Amino acid sequence: MRHALGTMAIAMAMMATLGGASARAQEWTLVIHGGAGVIERERMTPERDAAVRAALNAALAAGGAVLDGGGSALDAVEAAVRVLEDDPNFNAGRGAVFTADGTNELDAAIMDGRSRAAGAVAGVTATRNPISLARAVMERSGHVMLIGAGADAFSRAEGLEQAAPEWFATPERREQLERWRAAQQQGQRQSALAFDPDHKFGTVGAVARDSAGNLAAATSTGGVTGKRWGRVGDAPLIGAGTFADATCAVSATGAGEFYIRMNVAHEICARVRLSGDPVQQAADAVQAETLQLGGSGGVIALTADGAHAFSFNTPGMYRGVARRGAAATVAIYGDE
């Protein structure tokens, strides 16, 4: 009997080992953000805190369901970002900030690390989920980036869901625009931070590793309050706010004018790929160099081995992570 139990224990241990190896191969990770900035407990109501956490959890659940079902990282990041675009608490899709003219112009990008296929849109006005339009550009336009009226026309031609201007506009964002206009009249200098009266870079984004080990990244934003002249930030620029290859995926949420100049997302991935830097170290270093230029904000990053990084030099960043077989976690403030 003792011998039989011993044999059974060895067999179970071997099964556990084999199961562990196979489980590792099936592991997936999803990391999301909903923007970085001056996000502090004193400025948040309990209701908003709870609503943001619920939305982050919903986005992780949507993307996690894709990955748990064996779906691709690309499908997962699109699913997660669509949830955040539909939630008015974030500066993307519904709830996007206003331009100086009182309109909403939306930017988004998606990238598939398997092939480096990428799609992006800038200054679009009528697609309910700009991230899905970016994916349509990647898969069906023959191009990488479409802008403005042309991108809107492509969206209609592709049959993507359209939304009226009222869908995107929220009272809170209109109040932000009014505060921005008042500040302009008082002659306040337009620094990158002064673009947004609340000093938030409310972009949303996701990076994922699927159970086959492939990576993808997606980012969507309304840009900055009071933007003019067709201003485009880093989010839809491949390499600046969004990047994925076989090694690493990054989505950024920062002062676009600086993140573009640092090519932040690609720079982090290049350091991981070429120097072998751990992803947190690479993200922190590029963030620090971007801050030296004058640009604050945050990034999420994920590598093919499943290691992930949150890096932000603002008081808070809406963020979350989910992994196969583990409880999802979300956080808002810097001390969480």
Q: Residues interacting with ligand GLY, by CB under 6 A?
A: 201, 203, 221, 223-224, 233-235, 241, 253-254, 256
Tell me which amino acid residue 179 is: R
CB 237 within 8 A of CB 264: no
Q: Which is nearer to ligand GLY, 234 or 245 (CB)?
A: 234
Q: Which residue lies nearer to ligand GLY by CB, 217 or 224?
A: 224
Which residues are within 8 A (CB) of 18 and not within 5 positions of it... i.e. 6 or more apart? none
Q: How far is the CB of 132 from ligand GLY (least distance, A)?
A: 19
Quickly list DSSP for 92-147. SSTTPPPBTTS---EEEEEEETTTTEEEEEEEE-SBS-HHHHHHHIIIIISSSEEE
Which distant-in-sequence residues (6+ apart) come within 8 Å of 296 by Cβ? 36, 193, 201, 254, 255, 290, 313, 314
Tell me which residue of 122, 59, 46, 45 sits closest to 87, measured CA to CA: 59
Comparing CB distances to ligand GLY, the nearer of 231 and 271 is 231
* Tally of CB atoms within 10 A around 319: 23
Nearer of residues 204 and 208 to ligand GLY, judged by Cβ? 204
- Smallest distance from ligand GLY to CB 230, Å: 12
Question: What is the smallest separation between the CB atom of 267 and ligand GLY, expressed in angstroms?
Answer: 15
Nearer of residues 260 and 270 to ligand GLY, judged by Cβ: 260
Closest CA relative to residue 243, chosen from 117, 87, 333, 105: 117
Among 219, 240, 212, 261, which Cα is nearest to 77's? 219
Helices in the chain by DSSP H: which ranges? 2-25, 46-68, 73-86, 130-136, 148-158, 165-168, 171-185, 256-262, 264-270, 279-293
At 227, give phi and psi (nearest 5°).
Answer: -65, 150
Q: Residue 240 CB, nearest distance to ligand GLY (Å)? A: 9
**Cβ at position 214, least distance to ligand GLY in Å:** 25
Rank residues 160 and 224 by Cβ distance to ligand GLY and give the closer one: 224
Residue (223 or 320) nearer to ligand GLY, CB: 223
**Residue whose C-alpha is closest to residue 244's, from 284, 201, 274, 273:** 273
Query: Which are the contacts of 321, defined by CB distance < 8 A and separation ≥ 6?
Result: 29, 30, 31, 32, 60, 308, 328, 329
- The CB-of-241 to ligand GLY minimum distance in angstroms stands at 6
Structure tokens at 132: 């899905």
| Smallest distance from ligand GLY to CB 157, Å | 26
Catalytic residue set: 203
CA distance 160 to 320: 28
